[in-house]
Structure 1
Amino acid sequence: MSVIASGHEWGQFVSGAASLEEEEPGGVTVHRLPAWARAQVDDPLFSFAEACPVGVTVRFETDASFVTLTLSSTTLAPTGADPAPVTLIARQAGSETNVPLSAPSVIFLGPENRVVDVRRQDPETVTVPTAGSGPVEILLPHNAQVRLVSLESAGRLVPSPASGTRWTHYGSSISHGMNAVSAARTWPVAAASRLGWNLRNLSFAGNAQLDGFAARIIRDTPADVITLKVGINLVNADSMRERTFRPAVHAFLDTIREGHPSTLIAMISAVACPIHESAPGPVTKDSEGRARAASRAVHPDTGALSLRRTREILADVVHGRADERLMLVDGRELFGDEDVAMLYDGLHPDQDGLDLIARRFIALGKDWNVERIGEAS
C-alpha cells in the first residue's frame, strides 16, 4: 500500500501549481499563485478564480489497477440555481476517463456577487482506474477550489513530472473557461494536449488586469513559449484608460523580459465581442442576464478603452519595441466577427466556441519557432 498525504509528498505529484497550502485537519489547498501574490489583491472572486486549479494535474505511475483519491471541492452558483458539475479527468496512454465529484461544497451568490448561502460538504473519495500502461495524469477541476487529502494505491506510487515544451499562458475568463464542460475542454488545456506542450495556466476569470505580480511570476517561471491574452478584462471592468494601458503593457513586457530575454512571446489581443468593440466598459447585464456595455454619463469620454482601441494600442506597442521574439496575434484570428453567435451570454464563448479557439490556436502554434530551452522541473 502506498499513500500520499503530506504537503511534501503532494509537491512531488502536482504539476502546474504555485503553492500547496497545508490545511487543518489535513490536506493541501491547490493555488496557482504564491501567497505573496495572493496577498496583493483584496477581491473574493479573484481569490476563488486563483484557487480553481485549471491546468493543474496530479501525475504518477503505478502498477495497481486503480487508485483512490480523497479530496474536497468548493464551487460557486447563483442563488436558486444548481451548481455546474465538478469533475476530474484521468488520462493514461491516450485514453480519458471522466470522474465526477458528487459532493462539492457550494457558495451561493446573490446580486452583485454577494455570498448569501454556503452549503458545506465533507471530503469525498473517488476511484480512478489505472489499468493501462504509462504515466497517469489527473486533471483537477477548472471550476472549483480543491483540497487534496490523500492518494492511495495498492501498489507503488511514483511521481511522473510533466515534460514537453513549457508554455506559460496568461489570460481572462475565456482562457480560464469556467463554463467549459470539463477541465480538458478549456481551450488552453485542449491546445496543450494536442501540441504536446506543458502548460502553466495563469488565466483568471475577470482578472487579466496586467497586475505586476503576474508579470513577476511569468518572469520567474521557466518557459519555452509565453502567450499573453490581453484586453477584454481591462475593458469590461473599466479598469484602465489609454494613458495607463500603454505604459502598463510596456511594463508587463519589460518585467517578463528580465527573466526571458529571448523566449518567444505572443501578445494576443481580444477576441471578437460586439458589445465592447466600440463601446467602453464596464460590462453590465440586462434583464435576461446577457452582457452589455454600460451607458456612459460623460461624452465624449476621451481615453476610455474599447476592444478596438486596445487592439490598436497593443499593435503599436509590439511593433514599436523592435523585439524579434515578440509577436502579435489578432484575437479575431482565434474567434472572429463570424463566430459571435457562439457568445452564449454576449461575452463568453460556449463550448463550441472554446473548441474553435483551441483548434485555431493549435494551427498557429504548430508554425511558431519555439526554441526548447530544457525540460520542466
Structure 2
Amino acid sequence: MKKPILFAILLSSISSAVEIHGLRYVTETEEGIRFARFREDILAMPTHQLGLNPAKAQNTSGGIVAFKTDAAQITAHFKILSANYMGAGFGVFENSKLIEEFKFSPQATDAVLKFQSTQPGESLFEIVLPSFANVEFQGLESDGGKVPTIGNQKGADSACYVALGDSISHGVGQDGYGHKTWPFLLSRKLNMELFNLAVGGGKIAVPVAEMLEDWKWIDLITILVGYNGLHFNDKSPETYKADYARLLDAIRKNHPETKIVCISLLTTKKPVSEKTGHTVDEFRAVLEKLVAEHNDPNLILIKGEEVSSEKNLQADKPQDPVHLSIEGAALLADSLFEKLTSSALFHRKSTNHQ
C-alpha cells in the first residue's frame, strides 16, 4: 500500500502540496485541512440578524483543491463531516476538463476519490468540492510520479468573483455537485476564481457583505436574492428595497469600484406570495428603481425574466417552483455570460488590483 501524502506531514510546507481556491477561511488540523466559506463570528450571529441559517452555510460550495503532478493514478482522501440529503458530490478536472465525478450518500463519513490522468506529462488537477457537504481534505497518494506541487496555477493572480444569494446560487437542483452550479459555470467562462457565499434559505445578508472586508479586492459580485423574503419572510417591496440598499452600501464601504451585477428574481411558478399578495414583478420593479437611483457606473441590473424561463426549472420535480435543474443552471450561466460580455460594465477597466 502506497503511503498517502497527508497534510499533517506537510504543515511546514503546505504550498508544496496543494492550493485551495474559492474558500477564504482554511484551518489546519492534526488530520488535514478544514474549510469555511464564512468567518466564525459571522456564523455566530442570530439567524434573524444574519439573514441566513448558519447550519446551512457550513459547506464547501465553490471550493477547489488544486495541485500539479505527472502521476498516472491519483487517490484523494476526504472526511465527510456533514452532508444534507443531497450527499457529497465531487468533480475532478484535469487541465480544466472534467474527467471524473464522485457521489457519496448523506450517511458516508469517508470519501476516497481514485482517478487516472487522461494526458501524458504533468497536469493541473482540480478537485471541486461538494456544495451541500462539509469535508476535510486528508491527503493524496499517487503511483510514484512527482510529489504534487502548486506550480503556476489560477488563484493568486486570477480575477475574483463573489456570488451572493440563496439556494438558487448555492446549488439546490444540481444534485450536490459544486461544479454544476451556475456561479461555478459562470466563473469558468469568465476565467475568475469563485467564492460562492450563497446559502440555501438565505435572504439579504448585510453581515456577509460586511465580511467582504476580508477580501483585498473583488472584481465581480453577482447578487440574486429575494425569493425567500417574498414568500417566507413577509417582506414588502419597500422593505426589500431598503434592505437591498443596505447590502449595497455595506459592499461599497470596502469595495467602492467592484463591478456589481444585481439579478432580479428569476422565472418562477410561484409569482405571488400567499401571505402578503406581493409579487415577483413588484420585487423586480423596486430593484430596477434602486439600481437606477444609485447612478453607479459599476452597478448594473440584469432582469431575471430575460435570462430564465420555465426551461431552467426541474422538469422531473414539477412541484418545485423555483430551483434550477442541472441543465437549467448551465443555461443561466450561458445567458448571464452573454449579458455580461456584451455590457459596458464588463469592458470597463477595474482598478481594484492596484
TM-score range for the pair, normalised by the shorter chain length = 0.7 to 0.9
1-structure distance, mates of 2:114, 2:83: 21
Shift of 1:325: 1.2
Which residue of 2 is the match for residue 170 of structure 1? 164
For residues 109-162 of structure 1, give each alpha carbon's deviation from its aligned partner in whole angstroms, at most 9, with x where no partner exists: xxxxxxxxxx4x442432233463432111011232212222334422222452
Deviates more, 1:196-205 or 1:25-34: 25-34
Please tell me whether the aligned partners of residues 170 and 201 of structure 1 are also in contact (alpha carbons under 8 angstroms): yes
Instruction: Note closer, same or farther for the CA distance 1:172–1:195 as it changes in structure 2 (3 Å cut).
Output: same
2-structure distance, mates of 1:68, 1:252: 42
Identity %: 21
2-structure distance, mates of 1:92, 1:230: 33
Which residue of 1 is the match for residue 291 of structure 2? 318
Which residue of 2 is the match for residue 127 of structure 1? 114
* 1:67 is the counterpart of 2:74: yes
Corresponding letter in the other structure for 1:250: A
Q: Which runs of 5+ in 2 are unaligned?
A: none
- Give SS of 2:333's match: helix
Which residue of 1 is the match for residue 102 of structure 2? 100
Corresponding letter in the other structure for 2:21: S
2-structure distance, mates of 1:126, 1:166: 28
1-structure distance, mates of 2:211, 2:312: 33
* 1:156 is the counterpart of 2:147: yes
1-structure distance, mates of 2:40, 2:78: 21
For residues 208-262 of structure 1, give each alpha carbon's deviation from its aligned partner in whole angstroms, at most 9, with x where no partner exists: x222221112354221111111221211322533453222111111111112212
Spell out structure 1 runs of 4+ moving beyond 6 A: none
Please tell me whether the aligned partners of residues 204 and 226 of structure 2 are also in contact (alpha carbons under 8 angstroms): no
For residues 286-331 of structure 1, give each alpha carbon's deviation from its aligned partner in whole angstroms, at most 9, with x where no partner exists: xxxxxxxx4x3xxxx5xx7432221111111111112111111111
* 1:254 is the counterpart of 2:249: yes
- Give SS of 2:77's match: strand
Corresponding letter in the other structure for 2:191: G
Which residue of 1 is the match for residue 222 of structure 2? 227
* 1:350 is the counterpart of 2:325: yes
Instruction: Note closer, same or farther for the CA distance 1:4–1:369 as it changes in structure 2 (3 Å cut).
Output: farther
2-structure distance, mates of 1:137, 1:340: 29
- Give SS of 1:318's match: helix
* 1:142 is the counterpart of 2:123: no
Which residue of 2 is the match for residue 87 of structure 1? 89
Give me the TM-score of the superposition, normalised by structure 2: 0.82
Corresponding letter in the other structure for 1:157: P
Shift of 1:177: 1.4
2-structure distance, mates of 1:42, 1:146: 23
Map of 1:1-377 to 2, 5 A cutoff? 3-6=5-8, 9=14, 13-22=19-28, 26-42=31-47, 46-73=53-80, 74-77=82-85, 84=86, 86-102=88-104, 104=105, 106=106, 119=107, 121-130=108-117, 132=119, 133-153=122-142, 154=144, 155-159=146-150, 160-162=153-155, 163-181=157-175, 182-207=177-202, 209-221=203-215, 222-238=217-233, 240-275=235-270, 277=271, 279-280=272-273, 294=274, 296=275, 301=276, 305-336=278-309, 342=315, 344=318, 345-367=320-342, 368-373=346-351
- Give SS of 2:211's match: helix
1-structure distance, mates of 2:299, 2:213: 15
2-structure distance, mates of 1:271, 1:126: 36
Corresponding letter in the other structure for 1:128: F
CA RMSD of aligned residues (A): 2.9
Shift of 1:360: 0.5
Shift of 1:346: 1.8
Q: How many residues align?
A: 330
2-structure distance, mates of 1:267, 1:54: 21
